[in-house]
């Protein structure tokens, strides 16, 4: 993950190409580092976690591991949609200090895989008002379309985000 | 050699810490009046391997420090110096110091050398104090390399035995000679270090040649002639080198011709080499072995070239938390898996063309599968089990130090040290136990004068006992001291407003008071205990392990703290309940009873809080659906059940929709990928693959208090 941070900053280097898995939500295309993607699966019923923020749909059993599922639409303040059998869950995995953390995100549909170089990535405009801007690592143009690159580490660090939304929920 | 030694660091640290533990426990058993030679040898061996290892890996601070320690030990061992209590104390301090040094090196920081320097100074003072008297003896053996007259040394010999390659063809067998030597000097005094540097590649190895040489360390008063007689037949074919042991550190002499030094040379060489540890022969290819295992040593040495992993212990992960599992447990696990595979293939075959006539066989197969699974589960659980002696081992030292600090004579008795217990439980029970033992020493045991005055022996006894009872492990901390002073406890509790003035309590209730936060009866706050933080923490820690603690006390006879813990944290017996559409699990041990909720027995207290009179107690009632925000408050239950649970010694009634079955559940972490959730201790996977959450009973109770609605304390006391 350190390598990720370096590529983000080092704009002149050429060898900093990275692959991103992109997915659609509400006509926008978002990208996550493909190395953080463990698998993609269909939506299945989850078990509620009491007193969890509304964007945490619950936990599922992923081959013996308890994995929380986050609805990214609700997380980003988009209008929520009914889940259907084709609703997709992307299972993300990050390395942390004390082992790894696995979490699923619910998105509308998986789109494509792009190879993106760090130099073509633009910083997001400063949107201090928006609580979600912390998740955005950068913006990039692919085939005349904007793709929003997400910082997976930020996205999955719920401890921080829970506090934030806890305030709002109160 | 350009081997990356850092891969062995973890093993070195683990072994060194084990070595330090050994030193510590042996030192504690040592009585200065009657020094047991074997104990001193054990201590010496431990120190020696730490020194050797530290040198190999370039931790010079450690090896230099250990060297001085070792020198004094060596003098004691060889009898030139008698053990004194002050030495034991000094050694114990050195053990602490070494442990600190190794810990900081392990953590990657520079060790604090100040303490080491002070201790080293003390050692050098001791060593120099008698150096005049010892010098004659010390010089004497160093000459023996040239003369055969002074052939008895006080401390022994280091022999480099380098047989010629064709020794086997002449009908001589080095193994036999080593065995003979072992008989001569006794197994405990012989250390054999095989040197395998000359081993050729496996393809070019001639089986009839001997490529090995050995470094033999003899730590006993054997004359050189006696040793030479062992090698008499091969003396001409072999290179045999005798070095007196007392002053000459082992040099890397196995591949070149070692010269025997004269006294003066040797002394200066010894000084020069002080920084260079012994046994600096490439550690990847030599192994220090206890003599009983000479035959193994030969095999290992021979195997080393082709299979380095054989000698370098079964590779352990570099994770700091690792467990050693006895091979028996692994074997039985493999057996179980074998049976499971057989059952699986049997069922698979059965399923291929199944018809109803084979139903009985299917049922049999499933029964077998169930049995296999249960056995497998038990064996896997056993892997996590470790004898409780790991947790007990720190107490002899602790009791000794504290006893002398408090001026009390204490005898520590430890029973049931082989009782096995889950590793996680073991790690978490250590601190509460330390606290209880300190408490017993400080508060429990009386001073020697008081003991004598009340007709007891001067020496107090603290007993640590561990045993299995039902599905639990019970740990007792017992002292034969004064027992709990009930009047004083009650008085203190009233003073602090923990108990109303007018209220009378039974002895049992008074005993429970010591577990309340902020409670201490010690008149003087000491280093050791009495600050009033403690017993409540002990109880909380134990409650976190799903265990409980109680105290039994007889005035004047002593008190016993009894800790009950579940055998493992990984599996629990659960009661499944339904709340709305969700399934939750209560740990069965926490359930007192389950009853149909009668609306009319509910009483309203302050707003939304209900209590219920259950026999002669009022218990607070919590609606689980409300607690977890599953539905709005005004929605009514249709036919509610009340589960009365006890957590932290307080009863709480929890309202659920329905009781489902009971089953064993495997506890999975919710925190690993998510975070802690109030009222939930973990999650599990049910038979249908869905996730169910496990209720943390004491946490639910605690949250009730926190929310300000709780009346539980005063209610309970009433």
List the single best residue of A53, A66, A169 to mutate versus B (max B Cβ within 10 A): A66
Chain B contact for A129 (CB, 8 A cutoff): no
Residue of B668, B677, B685 with shortest CB distance to A51:
B677
Pair of tokens at residue B356: 């109803």
Q: State how far the Cα of B368 lies from the Cα of B289, in Å rounded to an integer.
A: 46
Split at pLDDT 50, 70, 90, the class of A82 is confident
Q: Which of chain B's residues have a Cβ under 8 Å away from the Cβ of A48?
A: 582, 628, 630
**Predicted pLDDT of residue B149:** 37
**What are the respective helix, strand and coil percentages of chain B, to the nearest 5?**
45, 20, 35
Residue B588 scores a pLDDT above 90: no
C-alpha triplet B442, B445, B447: angle, nearest 5° = 90
Residue B142 scores a pLDDT above 70: no
Which of these is catalytic: B162, B172, B372, B439? B439
Task: Tell me, rounded to whole angstroms, the distance of Cα B171 from its chain centroid.
Answer: 49
Q: Which of chain A's residues have a Cβ under 8 Å away from the Cβ of B627?
A: 50
The torsion of the CA quartet B379, B380, B384, B385, rounded to 10 degrees, works out to -10
List the single best residue of B320, B674, B678 to mutate versus A (max A Cβ within 10 A): B674
**Predicted pLDDT of residue A55:** 85
CB B359 within 8 A of CB B428: no
Contacts of A98 (CB under 8 A, 6+ apart): none
Residue B285 scores a pLDDT above 60: no
Q: Are residues B583 and B444 in the same domain?
A: no
What's the predicted TM-score (pTM) here? 0.47
- Which residue, chain included where needed, has tokens 């403690």? B534
Please tell me what DSSP assigns to residue B442.
I
Chain A contact for B605 (CB, 8 A cutoff): no
C-alpha triplet A41, A47, A49: angle, nearest 5° = 120
Pair of tokens at residue A8: 């983000």
Residue B224: HSE in the Cβ half-sphere, 13 Å Cα cutoff: 22
Q: A91-100, B226-235, B688-697 — which one is most confidently predicted on average? A: B688-697
**Predicted pLDDT of residue A90:** 93
Cβ contacts from A onto B, under 8 A: 68
For residue B635, the tally of other CB atoms under 10 A from its CB is 11
Average pLDDT over residues B538-542: 83
**Predicted pLDDT of residue B303:** 44
Q: Where are the domains of chain A?
A: 4-160
**Predicted pLDDT of residue A162:** 45
Q: Are residues B207 and B176 in the same domain?
A: yes
C-alpha distance across the termini of chain A, in Å: 33
**CB spacing of B673 vs A52 below 8 angstroms:** no
Chain A contact for B692 (CB, 8 A cutoff): yes
Chain B contact for A62 (CB, 8 A cutoff): no
Residue of B629, B670, B673 with shortest CB distance to A51:
B629
Chain B contact for A65 (CB, 8 A cutoff): yes
Q: Are residues B504 and B371 in the same domain?
A: no
Q: A10-19, B134-143, B315-324, B341-350 — which one is most confidently predicted on average? A: B341-350
Q: Are residues B451 and B466 in the same domain?
A: yes
Pair of tokens at residue B630: 């599953």
Q: Are residues B674 and B593 in the same domain?
A: yes
Q: Which of chain B's residues have a Cβ under 8 Å away from the Cβ of A69?
A: none
Q: Which of chain B's residues have a Cβ under 8 Å away from the Cβ of A102?
A: 673
DSSP string, B502-533: T----HHHHHHHTTSTT----SS--SSS-SS-
Contacts of A119 (CB under 8 A, 6+ apart): A11, A12, A13, A14, A16
Residue B262 scores a pLDDT above 60: no
For residue B70, indicate whether it is catalytic.
yes
**Predicted pLDDT of residue B584:** 92
Q: Which of chain A's residues have a Cβ under 8 Å away from the Cβ of B679?
A: 50
Q: Are residues B239 and B336 in the same domain?
A: no
Which has more pLDDT, B116 or A68?
A68
Q: Which of chain B's residues have a Cβ under 8 Å away from the Cβ of A56?
A: 674
- Residue B515 belongs to a domain with what CATH number? 3.30.565.10
**Predicted pLDDT of residue A130:** 59
- Residue B195 belongs to a domain with what CATH number? 3.30.70
In a domain, B322, yes or no: no
Residue B296 scores a pLDDT above 60: no
- Which residue, chain included where needed, has tokens 């060790």? B111
Q: Are residues B631 and B524 in the same domain?
A: no
Give Dmax (Cα) for chain B. 104
Residue B322 scores a pLDDT above 60: yes
Annotate B321-352 with three-state secondary structure: CCCCCCHHHHHHHHHHHHHHHHHHHHHHHHHH
Q: How far is CA A151 from CA A39, A141, B228, in A?
A: 18, 17, 74
* Superfamily holding A4-160: CheA-289, Domain 4 (2.40.50.180)
- Interface ipTM above 0.90: no
In a domain, B534, yes or no: yes
Residue B65: HSE in the Cβ half-sphere, 13 Å Cα cutoff: 28
Residue of B627, B629, B691 with shortest CB distance to A59:
B691
What is the percent of chain B where pLDDT is above 70? 77
User: Which of B694, B444, B398, B675 is CA-nearest to residue B557?
Assistant: B444
pLDDT tens for residues B297-314?
444 444 443 333 333 333
The torsion of the CA quartet B317, B322, B324, B329, rounded to 10 degrees, works out to -90
Measured in angstroms, the CA of B340 and the nearest CA of chain A are apart by 19
Which has more pLDDT, B414 or B209?
B414
Measured in angstroms, the CA of B593 and the nearest CA of chain A are apart by 25
Chain B contact for A48 (CB, 8 A cutoff): yes
Residue B140 scores a pLDDT above 80: no
Chain B contact for A106 (CB, 8 A cutoff): no
Give all strands (DSSP E) within A43-123, no chain letters.
56-62, 65-71, 88-96, 99-107, 109-117
Pair of tokens at residue B59: 């931790």
**Predicted pLDDT of residue B690:** 87
User: Which of B458, B484, B474 is CA-nearest to residue B415?
Assistant: B474
Which of these is catalytic: B70, B154, B446, B646? B70
Q: Is B490 helix (H, G, I), strand (E, B) or coil?
A: helix
Domain that holds residue B340: 327-383
Domain boundary among B222, B244, B266: B244
**Predicted pLDDT of residue B481:** 84
**Predicted pLDDT of residue B272:** 45
DSSP string, B635-701: PPPSS-EEEEEEETTEEEEEEESEEEEEEEEE-B-STTTS---TTEEEEEE-TTS-EEEEE-HHHHH
In a domain, B299, yes or no: no
Q: State how far the Cα of B273 lies from the Cα of B583, in Å rounded to an integer.
A: 70
Average pLDDT over residues B486-507: 78
Q: Would strands B602-605 and B591-596 be described as parallel, antiparallel, or unpaired?
A: unpaired
Q: What are phi and psi of B472, to 5 degrees?
A: -115, 160
Q: Are residues B110 and B180 in the same domain?
A: no
Lowest mean pLDDT among A41-45, B46-50, B265-269: B265-269
Please tell me what DSSP assigns to residue B444.
I
Residue B283 scores a pLDDT above 80: no
Q: How far is CA B212 from CA A12, A73, A128, B161, B294, in A?
A: 59, 71, 73, 9, 13
**Predicted pLDDT of residue B341:** 92
**CB spacing of B674 vs A158 below 8 angstroms:** yes
Measured in angstroms, the CA of B20 and the nearest CA of chain A are apart by 29
In a domain, B456, yes or no: yes
Average predicted confidence (pLDDT) for chain B? 74
Q: Are residues B557 and B602 in the same domain?
A: no
In a domain, B277, yes or no: no
Average predicted confidence (pLDDT) for chain A? 77
Q: Which of chain A's residues have a Cβ under 8 Å away from the Cβ of B691?
A: 46-47, 58-61, 66
pLDDT tens for residues B654-698?
888 888 888 888 888 887 788 778 888 888 888 788 899 998 887
CB B95 within 8 A of CB B46: no
Exposure b/e, B41-72, CB count within 10 A at least 16 = b: bbbbbbbbbbbbbbbbbebebbbbbbbbbbbb
In a domain, B333, yes or no: yes
- Residue B41 belongs to a domain with what CATH number? 1.20.120.160
Q: State how far the Cα of A118 lies from the Cα of A16, in Å rounded to an integer.
A: 6
Chain A contact for B584 (CB, 8 A cutoff): no
Q: Are residues B399 and B362 in the same domain?
A: no
In a domain, B61, yes or no: yes
Q: Are residues B425 and B351 in the same domain?
A: no
**Predicted pLDDT of residue B2:** 53
**Predicted pLDDT of residue B488:** 80
Nearest residue in A to B675, CA atom: A159
Give all strands (DSSP E) within B75-186, no chain letters.
157-162
Task: Tell me, rounded to whole angstroms, the distance of Cα B429 from its chain centroid.
Answer: 11
Q: Are residues B172 and B85 in the same domain?
A: no
C-alpha triplet B523, B527, B531: angle, nearest 5° = 50
Q: Which of chain B's residues have a Cβ under 8 Å away from the Cβ of A45?
A: 690
Helix (H) or strand (E) holding B191: strand B190-195
How deeply is A100 buried, as exposed, middle or buried, from its count of CB atoms within 10 A (0-12, 13-18, 19+)?
Answer: exposed
Q: State how far the Cα of B673 lies from the Cα of A105, in Å rounded to an integer.
A: 13
**CB spacing of B629 vs A50 below 8 angstroms:** yes
Helix (H) or strand (E) holding B182: helix B174-185
**Predicted pLDDT of residue A68:** 92
Average pLDDT over residues B240-268: 50
List the single best residue of B576, B579, B673 to mutate versus A (max A Cβ within 10 A): B673
- Which residue, chain included where needed, has tokens 């100074």? B121
Which of these is catalytic: B24, B48, B546, B548? B48
Contacts of B108 (CB under 8 A, 6+ apart): none
Measured in angstroms, the CA of A101 and the nearest CA of chain B are apart by 5
List the single best residue of B627, B654, B677, B691 to mutate versus A (max A Cβ within 10 A): B691
Q: How far is CA A62 from CA A41, B69, B454, B639, in A?
A: 10, 55, 65, 35
Q: State how far the Cα of B74 lies from the Cα of B72, in Å rounded to an integer.
A: 5
Domains of chain B: total: 5
Q: How far is CA A125 from CA A9, A78, A137, in A?
A: 16, 20, 11
**CB spacing of B582 vs A46 below 8 angstroms:** no
pLDDT tens for residues B372-420?
888 887 788 778 778 888 888 888 888 888 888 888 888 888 988 888 8
**CB spacing of B673 vs A61 below 8 angstroms:** no
How deeply is B75 buried, as exposed, middle or buried, from its count of CB atoms within 10 A (0-12, 13-18, 19+)?
Answer: buried
């Amino acid at each position: 993950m350190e390598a990720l941070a370096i590529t983000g900053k080092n704009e002149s280097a050429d060898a900093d190409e990275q692959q991103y898995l992109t997915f659609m939500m509400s006509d926008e295309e978002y990208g996550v580092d493909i190395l953080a993607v463990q698998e993609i699966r269909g939506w299945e019923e989850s078990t509620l976690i009491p007193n969890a923020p509304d964007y945490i749909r619950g936990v599922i059993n992923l081959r013996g591991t308890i994995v929380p599922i986050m609805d990214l639409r609700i997380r980003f303040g988009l209008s929520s949609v009914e889940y259907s059998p084709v609703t997709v869950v992307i299972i993300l995995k990050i390395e942390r200090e004390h082992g790894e953390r696995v979490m699923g995100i619910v998105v509308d549909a998986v789109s494509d895989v792009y190879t993106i170089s760090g130099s073509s990535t633009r910083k997001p405009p400063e949107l201090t008002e928006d609580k979600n801007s912390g998740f955005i690592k950068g913006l990039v143009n692919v085939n005349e379309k904007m793709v929003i690159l997400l910082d997976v580490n930020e996205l999955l660090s719920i401890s921080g985000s829970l506090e934030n939304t806890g305030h709002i929920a109160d | 050699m350009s081997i990356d030694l850092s891969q062995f660091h973890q093993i070195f640290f683990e072994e060194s810490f084990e070595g330090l533990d050994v030193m510590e426990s042996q030192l504690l058993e040592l009585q200065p009046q009657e020094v047991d030679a074997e104990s001193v040898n054990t201590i010496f061996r431990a120190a020696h391997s730490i020194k050797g290892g530290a040198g190999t890996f370039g931790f010079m601070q450690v090896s230099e420090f250990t060297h001085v320690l070792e020198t004094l030990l060596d003098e004691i061992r060889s009898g030139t110096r008698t053990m004194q209590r002050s030495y034991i104390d000094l050694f114990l301090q050195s053990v602490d110091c070494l442990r600190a040094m190794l810990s900081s090196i392990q953590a990657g920081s520079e060790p604090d050398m100040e303490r080491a320097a002070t201790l080293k100074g003390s050692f050098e003072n001791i060593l120099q104090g008698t150096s005049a008297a010892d010098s004659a003896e010390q010089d004497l053996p160093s000459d023996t390399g040239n003369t055969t007259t002074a052939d008895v040394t006080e401390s022994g010999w280091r022999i480099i035995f380098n047989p010629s390659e064709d020794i086997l063809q002449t009908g001589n067998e080095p193994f036999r000679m080593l065995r003979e030597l072992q008989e001569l000097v006794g197994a405990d005094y012989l250390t054999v270090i095989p040197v395998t540097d000359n081993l050729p590649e496996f393809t070019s190895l001639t089986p009839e040649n001997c490529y090995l040489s050995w470094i033999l360390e003899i730590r006993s008063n054997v004359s050189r002639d006696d040793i030479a007689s062992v090698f008499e037949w091969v003396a001409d074919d072999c290179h045999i080198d005798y070095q007196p042991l007392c002053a000459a550190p082992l040099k890397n002499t196995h591949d070149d011709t070692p010269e025997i030094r004269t006294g003066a040379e040797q002394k200066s060489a010894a000084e020069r080499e002080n920084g260079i540890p012994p046994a600096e022969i490439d550690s990847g290819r030599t192994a220090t072995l206890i003599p009983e295992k000479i035959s193994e040593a030969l095999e290992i040495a021979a195997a080393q070239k082709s299979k380095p992993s054989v000698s370098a212990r079964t590779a352990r992960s570099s994770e700091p938390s690792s467990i050693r599992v006895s091979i028996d447990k692994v074997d039985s696990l493999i057996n179980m898996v074998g049976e499971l595979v057989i059952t699986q293939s049997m069922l698979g075959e059965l399923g291929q063309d199944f018809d109803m006539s084979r139903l009985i066989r299917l049922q049999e197969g499933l029964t077998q599968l169930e049995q296999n699974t249960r056995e497998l589960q038990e064996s896997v659980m056993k892997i996590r089990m470790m004898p409780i002696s790991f947790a007990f081992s720190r107490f002899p030292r602790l009791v000794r130090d504290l006893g002398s600090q408090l001026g009390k004579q204490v005898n520590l008795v430890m029973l049931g040290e082989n009782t096995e217990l889950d590793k996680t439980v073991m790690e978490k029970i250590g601190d509460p136990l330390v606290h209880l033992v300190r408490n017993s020493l400080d508060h429990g045991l009386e001073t020697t004068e008081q003991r004598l005055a009340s007709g007891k022996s001067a020496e107090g006894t603290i007993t640590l006992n561990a045993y299995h009872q039902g599905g639990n492990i019970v740990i007792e901390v017992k002292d034969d001291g004064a027992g709990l002073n009930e009047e004083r406890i009650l008085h203190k509790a009233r003073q602090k407003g923990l108990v109303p003035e007018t209220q009378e309590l039974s002895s049992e209730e008074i005993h429970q008071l010591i577990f309340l936060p902020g409670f201490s009866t010690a008149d003087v706050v000491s280093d050791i205990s009495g600050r009033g933080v403690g017993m409540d923490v002990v109880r909380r820690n134990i409650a976190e392990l799903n265990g409980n603690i109680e105290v039994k006390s007889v005035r004047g006879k002593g008190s016993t703290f009894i800790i009950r813990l579940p055998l493992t944290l990984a599996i629990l017996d659960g009661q499944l309940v339904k709340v709305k559409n969700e399934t939750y699990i209560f740990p069965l041990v926490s359930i007192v009873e389950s009853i149909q909720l009668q609306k009319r027995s509910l009483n309203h207290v302050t707003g939304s809080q209900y209590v219920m009179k259950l026999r002669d107690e009022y218990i607070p009632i919590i609606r689980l659906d409300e607690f977890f925000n599953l539905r709005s408050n005004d929605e009514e239950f249709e036919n509610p059940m009340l589960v009365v649970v006890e957590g932290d010694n307080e009863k709480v009634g929890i309202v659920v929709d329905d009781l489902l079955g009971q089953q064993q559940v495997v506890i999975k972490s919710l925190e690993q990928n998510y975070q802690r959730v109030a009222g939930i201790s973990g999650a599990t996977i049910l038979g249908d693959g869905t996730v169910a959450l496990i209720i943390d009973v004491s946490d639910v109770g605690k949250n009730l208090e926190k929310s300000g609605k709780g009346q539980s304390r005063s209610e309970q006391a009433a």
